[in-house]
Each structure stands twice: as structure tokens, then as C-alpha cells.
Structure 1
Amino acid sequence: MKLCMKLPLVLVLSVFVVPVTVLSDSSLSSNGVSEIHKKLLSFAQNPQVFDWMVGIRRKIHANPELGYEEFETSELIRAELDQMSIEYKHPVGVTGVVGFIGTQKPPFVAIRADMDALTMQEMVEWVHKSKNAGKMHACGHDAHVAMLLGAAKILKEHEQDLQGTVVLVFQPAEEGGAGAKKMIAGGALENVSAIFGLHVANHVPIAEVASRPGPFLAGAGFFEATISGKGGHAALPHHAVDPILAASNVIVSLQHLVSREADPLDLQVITVGKFQGGDAFNVIPDSVKIDGTFRAFTTESLMQLKQRIKQVITGQASVHRCLATVNFFEDEKPLSPPTVNHKDLREHFRNVAGDMLGFEKVKDHQRWMGSEDFAYYQEAIPGYFSFLGMADDALGPLPMPHSPYFRINEDALPYGAALHASFAARYLLEFQQEVPLPEREHHDEL
């Protein structure tokens, strides 16, 4: 474990040219809670704090790193935590970082950000465009890290008011790599009673949040199929066994699993997003590869889809005289469970966000077929996940995540930082544990 000595407040703020107003006249007590949340947001919106978060986000954006390769991102995070005299563990889950702010005693509450980028070439032309060919922060994880560091700064400034310990979870490999599982295995949730997460959303207006109790985001699995036939001349198909035709019928048949086998009230999706086969217009190839994903809101539905996907692919290939192998990436990309928000945290989420933003800015959201490995944390402890709005008419439409044209509205960063801090601090105040947990042991190294 990295141990950092606490510095006086004036030294912590010395990174800024202009002093930042702090809540020296307030404490995180049950009186005036609404006003305190608004002051935390005001702190995050201070130009120096805002510019600092923007700078962090842009550094990470220009240097995107894939899952379990976030070495420079992790180093940047640790440097910032060192600057703030925040104690942390590293490495956790290969490149992950887990920080601690507060009393170092129960109760413990966690707030989380993911760090990894996507395999995608950025098409947005700006000064901080990705410098790493074929890699891009197209899902906002760069913003998530900046916001969690912003929350760390807020909480550190008010550490004396915390009624327990806030755990900062900087997680690798959310994009299909099950980084959350490795973080849990590495002890990131040790003694933690609840966890909160945010994700920037292009379809939710700025200064609003949206979520729902119960199932919120779908569980997801991935598959790759190789369909093998016999190559030949395109003019003589009867001398060949065409895997392209077989694969085409496989894709059509896979859609029937949702339209004709799934309960219409049980939301499911199967999408084939990759089809590779052939090198010439007049040659039937020997084999074709298809890759896809399947989504559902229950583990039972996911397992049923997995079973039927394999049956359909191998069966349809056989009908067309081909052979097929199917890989579900159980080790590299294990089945991700649905993201299910704990019902007992619903009011906490609503009250914190409502006191800060106004209750009219806290919206209910329909179930969403996107997947989040935050779900692994929710399988272990109560958790609540929400969307943070960044849509602004003045900016025009923002592309969806996983688009090479994806953009971040950086005006959302202070809202995310302040909400993270408030979710955690108020939880510690309102959800004191009746039976103290064992104190966390200190180690020089994880």
C-alpha cells in the first residue's frame, strides 16, 4: 500500500493560482444537507478545479489505453492522489488503483470510475485527439476518471467531516474484460457496504441525472463463430461449399431467437457486428468468421441465448454442408450480469441528486440494452448506477458512445465530481453500521 502523509489544507490547494473557497463554516451533518450539496457543486465548478479536471480528462483522452494496459493512466491517477496526500493501493486488478479518504474506519462506501479505451480510430479532429492509432476513448471513461479525481479533491478538502471512509475505485477493463471482477478479487470492496457509479450520457440533458431501481442495464455475452466450407471458383459454386451463404443464413436465423423464441416482455438482443470472409469478388472462400453480442435482463435469459446461439450456428452450418466452431470467450470476456440497482439505495440517490440539482432534474430512465460491468460490484454488495447528462442544444447532437465521432461535453465534469462526493459523504452520514467491521490492515504492497 502506498501511504501518503496528510498535508495542511493550504498546501493541498497550492496547486491553484487562486485560492478555492471551502466549507469551513459547514459540516456534513443532517442540518442544511441541501445547502451543503450545492456548495460541493460550487466547489467543483470553481474555474481552477474545473480546468484541472478538464486537463486530466484531455491528457487521458490523448493517450487511450485498452483493458489491462492502462499503465500510464494509472500512473497519472496515482500522481494526482499523491499530490492530494490520499492513501491508495496499487496495483489492484493489474492496473487498478484503490484510494481511501476519511477515518479509515467503518462504515466504508465506494465510488467507481473505469479507465479503459476502445479499439477504434478516432475521427474527431481536435487538439487532444488520440495519439494511439486504433485506440480511442469513445465511451467517456476519460471523463469518468477526471470526475472521480474531482470527487477525491472535494472529499479530501472535507475529510474532517466524513463519518467513515470513502473508497475510490479506479478500475481497468470495463469494455468486455471484466475488470470489476479482478478488482473485487483484489480486495477493492473489502469492508465496503455500498458502491455508486456514474456514466456520462449523450441523450440526457446537462445538469440532469437518470436512473431506475431494479434492472437498469442488460447483461451481455460475446461470441465468435468460424464457419468452414470448401473454397472454389465463384462461377462453379457446385464444386465448392459456400461458407458465406451458410453464415448469411446463420445471421438471419439468430434473429429468430428473439422474435420467435423469447417472451416479448423479456427484452433481448442479438447483434452480429462483424462478418469477415473472402478476399476476391470471384472466389468462394474456405471459411467465414462472424462476431456478435447478446443481451438480456436476466441471467437465465442470457444462458438460454448462449445455448441456442451455439445450436443455431452449428445447425445452420450443417444444413449448408459446413462445419462451425463457436467461442464465447469465457476467460477473456466472461458473461456480464445485468446491472441491477439496489432498491434500498433509490431514495438515497434521489435525495442527494435532488438536493444538489433540483428534484425536477432527477429523471426515471427506461431499461437500457447497453451493458456495464459495474454489475459485478452489485452482485457482491448493494450498488446504484446512473446516467449523468451532458446533452446541450448549444453543442448540437452528441454521437452515441462507441462511435468514432463520440465527444464529451466537459461542462458535465463538475456535476459528476460533486455527485460522486455527495453520494459517498451522505451515505456515511445516513447509513452508519450498527456493528463495526474489522479495521482494514495496512500493507506496504498489495
Structure 2
Amino acid sequence: MTWSETVAQAVALRHWWHRHPELSWQEEKTAGRIRQTLSQWQIPWRACAGQGTVARLAADAQGEHLALRADMDALPIQETAGLEYRSAEPGRMHACGHDGHMAALIGAAIWLKRHEGQLPGPVSLLFQPAEEGGHGAREMIRDAALEGVDCIFGWHNWPALGLGQALCPDGPVMSGNGSFHIDVLGRGGHASQPEATRDPLLAAAAITLNLQQIVSRRLPPQAAAVVSVASLVAQGAVTVIPDRARLEGSIRLGAPQWRGPINELIVQIAQDTAAAYGVRAEVETRSRYEATINHPNAAQRYRQALQEEFGPNCQDSDLLLPLMASEDFSYYLNEIPGAFALIGMAEPAAGAEGGGTCYQTPCHSPDYRFNDRIIEPVMRLFCRLVGLGTGDGGQRTEG
């Protein structure tokens, strides 16, 4: 199989996965197609963490053992993009490009298998379930996915970056996250007699406003953090003040040291504000993912490969890092050295007036569209990272 045929097969698999999206911890058909393809090319694999798969190449090679990772799960979103291969599953779609991540890794796997004897060290290929809040990386690690691995690399498509742009900084690239849940408990009653009630809605509104002071007044300006109240629910009526209200929201943090102070301030502010309004607040904070923090040596190695692929100026971007989005790739980087890159895919739309762009719709949008043109350069990046020549003449991807 030629390089171009390998790329074509990867793109075709991407379209199949896009038509058959599966949610976190439900990736049965997705895993089946991955394993079928690996077996077809005689690439040894084993199941890992249920729907996950770990494949290995050049297992007996004496050099550094590297790992490459792709996530597998889709999202509970109804697709509105009018693609020929749009989702065939109502209420589910690959709205984050994990189908493209799998395609790039399976394409690289096929090419690496054909040149397995040239690999300087073992290569593990991690197809991971449940990245979207399901802690899939944690479960892969618990099932020995990193056994013997010295360094790991991953990536995410990023629609806010143009095709030919890529970022892989030293240190934080994506933020940690968490959630908070606040029950405000008062005493309901008739809306015409507010003095006879203890209004949880009023207190909830005040808590919402006061929580905004955490980032603006209680943390140093150098701390990259977000505290967002995203939901306020109270079952009252036009003449009924309810007994309780519930607030829920999200935190984002660019470095792990801010999680404790932010959570403590959420509890303190909610409870003290509630007391000032004569009600009570019960607060729960939940940790999710830690910040994705690149190891400098691995990040430098990744940047070298990115520059070879996209050119020396590929990192010229005004995109601010760390992103406030989160990634469970952080679990891997907390265990072993490695790096994670953001790779752009926006480009001028064919025939667009005034330089319009396509593939720029944000991730998690029902109209999100993955750009197939980044599959081939990512395949080449993976080949470079594990020490194999690209095999296609090393052509550079231009934006």
C-alpha cells in the first residue's frame, strides 16, 4: 500500500466513525473497527479499560519506548452539519474531532507496521475511550497502558488555528477543570408576603454575583482561572417563593495549585452570603481533570517535528494559552514525560468572497466539521516523532 493509499484508507475510516458515533464507555463498534483494522495489518493489540485498545509495534527494539494516543468518544449532540457522511445516530455526533484523531493514528499505525524494522524503539498506540468527562485516560493507566513507556505524545485539532499553525508550549497547554453544586435552602411562601419567607432565589442571585469576585479580587492576576455559574434552578411560580434553589457551575484553572483555594472560596462565599440572607447553603465541589502540562524536553521534540511539517513560523499565533478547555491527557503527563499539541485546521473556503474561512466552527458545536486535510500531516508528525522518515518525500503542509 502506498502512502497516498494509506491516507485514503485513514480518511475513509474517519468517515465511517463519523457516521457511527458512540458516547463515553459505549464505544463498542468504534473499538471493533479499530481492532479489525489492526488485525488486518497484523498489528498486535490487546483490549484495555474495556473499549480501549493498546497496540504495539517493534516490541523487541532496544530504543526509547514511545506512545501515541487518540481518543474515541463522541458527544450527545444532534448534528446539523449537512455532510454526506453525517451521523446516522440521532442525538450523537463526533463534535470534537475524535474520529479524526483515531483516523490519523490508525493511518500512522498502518504505515509504521510496513516499516516496523526501521523503528529505533517500541511504539505503543493507545486508542482511548471516554475522554469527554469519563476519565478514560485514568482507566487506561490503571490497566497498564503505560507499562514500559518512556514518553507519550497526543494532539487535538483546534478550529481557532489556521491550517499550518500548531502550538506545543512548555508547561500548561490546557486547563484543569472541576464543578460546584450549591443547594440554597430557605423557607418558601406566598409572593405577596416576602417578609414571611426566607427567599432562596434572592440569596442564590447574590451568591452568583459574589462568586465572580474570586477571580477578579481573590486570586492574583497571573492566575489563569475561570469560575462560571452555568445553571440556577428553582421550582417556584408567579405567586410562589420556593423553598430551595440550586446553583451549578464550572471552574477552570491553568495550574493545579489554584484548585484548593478556588474550592475553599466557593464554599466560604456561598455559605457566608447565604447566612447574610437568612438561608443556608450546602456546597459540593468536584474535581475532574488536572491541567495538561507539557514536559519541556518532550515539547521541544514535538515542536521540532511541527516545524519540519508546517514550517518554522507555525507557532506564530495570538491564541492565548493555556486554553480554558480541559483534556484527560493530563493523566498521562502526570505519570510519565510527554507533550500535547494543538493543531489548526481552519482555511479559506473554496470560492468564498472576502477570504471567508471554513472548518472554523468551535468544537462541541452541532455544526462542527473536521478538516480531513489535517489527517495526512498528523500521520507524518507521528512518523517523525517515533523516528521514522515520512516515506512520502517529507512534503510540508502549507496553510
Q: What is the TM-score when the length of structure 1 is the normalising length?
A: 0.79
Query: Which of 217, 224, 229 is residue 181 of structure 2 equivalent to?
Result: 224
State the match for 1:370 in structure 2: 325
CA distance change for structure 1 residues 335 and 387 in 2, over 3 Å: closer, same or farther?
Answer: same
> How much does 1:322 deviate?
2.9
> How much does 1:190 deviate?
0.5
State the match for 2:226 in structure 1: 269
Return 5+ residue gaps in structure 2 as ranges.
350-356, 390-399
Aligned-pair identity (%): 34
Taking the aligned partners of 1:208 and 1:164, their CA distance within structure 2 comes to 29
SS in 1 for 2:313: helix
State the match for 2:305 in structure 1: 352
SS in 1 for 2:235: coil
SS in 1 for 2:212: helix
SS in 1 for 2:150: strand
Return 5+ residue gaps in structure 1 as ranges.
1-12, 14-19, 21-42, 428-446
CA distance change for structure 1 residues 84 and 226 in 2, over 3 Å: closer, same or farther?
Answer: farther
Q: Is the 8 A contact 1:54 1:146 kept in 2?
A: yes
Taking the aligned partners of 1:133 and 1:257, their CA distance within structure 2 comes to 40
Taking the aligned partners of 1:134 and 1:68, their CA distance within structure 2 comes to 16
Taking the aligned partners of 1:136 and 1:279, their CA distance within structure 2 comes to 35
Instruction: Report whether the alignment pairs 1:382 with 2:337.
Output: yes
Q: Is the 8 A contact 1:209 1:362 kept in 2?
A: yes
Taking the aligned partners of 1:257 and 1:210, their CA distance within structure 2 comes to 30
Taking the aligned partners of 2:335 and 2:221, their CA distance within structure 1 comes to 30
Query: Which of 147, 153, 160 is residue 203 of structure 1 equivalent to?
Result: 160
Taking the aligned partners of 2:272 and 2:73, their CA distance within structure 1 comes to 37
State the match for 2:395 in structure 1: none
Q: Is the 8 A contact 1:234 1:284 kept in 2?
A: yes
> How much does 1:241 deviate?
3.1
Taking the aligned partners of 1:380 and 1:374, their CA distance within structure 2 comes to 10
Taking the aligned partners of 1:390 and 1:162, their CA distance within structure 2 comes to 29
SS in 1 for 2:249: strand
Query: Which of 70, 79, 96 is residue 113 of structure 1 equivalent to?
Result: 70
> How much does 1:193 deviate?
0.5
SS in 2 for 1:380: coil
Count how many residue pairs are aligned between Structure 1 and Structure 2: 379
Listed one character per residue, the Cα deviations across residues 299-346 of structure 1 (whole Å, up to 9, x for unaligned) are 1111111121122223323333333333334xxxx4322111111123
Listed one character per residue, the Cα deviations across residues 170-215 of structure 1 (whole Å, up to 9, x for unaligned) are 1122222221111111111111010001100101111332221112
Instruction: Report whether the alignment pairs 1:391 with 2:346.
Output: yes
Instruction: Report whether the alignment pairs 1:100 with 2:56.
Output: yes
Instruction: Report whether the alignment pairs 1:158 with 2:111.
Output: no
CA distance change for structure 1 residues 161 and 339 in 2, over 3 Å: closer, same or farther?
Answer: same
Matches within 5 A, 1:110-259: 110-259=67-216
State the match for 1:436 in structure 2: none
Taking the aligned partners of 2:160 and 2:113, their CA distance within structure 1 comes to 32
Taking the aligned partners of 1:361 and 1:420, their CA distance within structure 2 comes to 17
Taking the aligned partners of 1:145 and 1:182, their CA distance within structure 2 comes to 18
Taking the aligned partners of 1:234 and 1:413, their CA distance within structure 2 comes to 60
Instruction: Report whether the alignment pairs 1:50 with 2:3.
Output: no
Taking the aligned partners of 2:219 and 2:168, their CA distance within structure 1 comes to 26
Query: Which of 254, 258, 267 is residue 297 of structure 1 equivalent to?
Result: 254
State the match for 1:75 in structure 2: 32
Q: Is the 8 A contact 1:204 1:210 kept in 2?
A: no
Name the aligned partner's letter for residue 372 of structure 1: E
SS in 2 for 1:354: helix
